[in-house]
Structure 1
Amino acid sequence: MNYESRVMVQRRGKARDLTVCGLFSALIAVGAFIKIVIPVGADSMNFTLQWFFVLLAGLLLGSKRAFLSVSTYLLIGLMGIPVFARGGGPAYLLRPTFGFLLGFALAAYAMGKICEWLHSSKPGTWIFAASVGYVIYYGMGILYFYFITHWIVVTPNTVGWGAIFAVYCLPTMFPDVVLCVLAIMVAGRLRPVVAQILG
């Protein structure tokens, strides 16, 4: 293969990767609007399908593409385009629950990296990867929530670790486990198609 042919192959590969990552970014954005509002005291939380599409990205695209897909979605939202469950814009960084969105990106990368390391598409590998991603997703959400409410936007009624977990995590944890199971099942069906597209 000569130099020009290699350049053409690389360009096609980059265009293909951008297209796939753009598609998953769009799916995550759509997932933000498929939601169930859960009232929690004076505030509310949203159970959405974003986590489902993040799982698919992590299980099917590999670490770099999965991270790029979620990061693109986050950047679009922070630029002001209302793709988050409650809108968008840079002020979203000060929302205590933004940590769950950051958790999406870290979880997607970790799941993709586990699948790459284990070189396996078996359900056991995906269960392990989804479990690790799940812990990272909720762990990042809790840490960011605590950091924002205790160090950045300090209020007289600051909540502790237990309250954060009970009020802002527990209501959605079981539904998100269900999404993990569904994503593993769907990933099994989609893997041959995605593998063919990605080459």
Structure 2
Amino acid sequence: MTSKTKSLVYCGLFTALIAVGAFIKIPIPVVPFTLQYLFTMMAGLLLGPRLGALAVTFYMVLGLIGLPIFAEGGGIWYIFKPSFGYIIGFIAGTFVTGYIAQQMKKKSVINYLLANLAGLFFVYAIGMIYYYIICNFVINTPIAVWPLFLYCFILAVPGDLALSILGALMVKRVKPILGIEAIAMKSRA
């Protein structure tokens, strides 16, 4: 299989995994806990910044054109859901995670975890800012900063921290088996 074909297959695979991850969820107030973050982070770690972010972008576009692959459906109207900012954050977080992982000299679980946490910062920063703007200025359901911080960070982040650890452990084991290192390196060019 050629490198471009392999890249396209892996990109499509992660797009599908992210969609499946949206349906594996634990309901918590405001923003549901899903496995999307696990697969977006792994896309960055395994495919690199560009291909990983591309897989997440494909996921977002497919949901916006109407496929019900987001945690609560799909369609262009989804941009008015306060939680849509997290999907945008997944793109940035995946790119950051992949970029940091690609630059590291030692491919250790700790370094993968640090890359995951850096990406997670962007997911939450973009997601919470978007949530605040949509609620307060677009759909007229005001939310103050403390409830936003409580529901969209404090209640949600423990699960994502656990997924960050799990993802770092999984990637350390899976990367050599799949031979993905070559794909991530070629996607740099």
Distance 1:169 1:188 in 2: 27
Distance 1:15 1:162 in 2: 47
Structure number with greater Rg is 1
Superposed CA deviations along residues 52-94 of structure 1, whole A, max 9, x for unmatched, are: 1111111111101100111111110001000011000000001
Shift in Å, 1:153: 2.1
- DSSP 3-state at the match of 1:124: helix
TM-score where L is the length of structure 1:
0.86
Runs of 4+ deviating beyond 4 Å: 196-199
1:85 aligns with 2:71: yes
Instruction: Extract unaligned runs of 5+ from structure 2.
Output: 184-189
Deviation larger for 111-120 or 172-181:
111-120
Structure 1 residues 25-174: aligned runs within 5 Å:
25-38=15-28, 40=29, 44-155=30-141, 158-174=142-158
Deviation larger for 102-111 or 44-53:
44-53
Distance 1:183 1:77 in 2: 24
Superposed CA deviations along residues 86-115 of structure 1, whole A, max 9, x for unmatched, are: 000000001111111111110000011111
Shift in Å, 1:117: 1.9
Shift in Å, 1:150: 2.5
1:179 aligned partner: 163
Instruction: Extract unaligned runs of 5+ from structure 1.
Output: 1-8
Distance 1:162 1:104 in 2: 23
In structure 1, what residue type is equivalent to 2:155? P
1:22 aligned partner: 12
In structure 1, what residue type is equivalent to 2:124? Y
Shift in Å, 1:198: 4.4
Q: CA RMSD in A?
A: 1.7
Asked whether the 8 Å contact 1:17–1:198 carries over to 2, the reply is: no
User: Compared with structure 1, are the counterparts of its residues 92 and 196 closer, same or farther at alpha carbon in structure 2 (3 Å cutoff)?
Assistant: closer
Structure with higher RCO (Cα < 8 A, 6+ apart)? 2
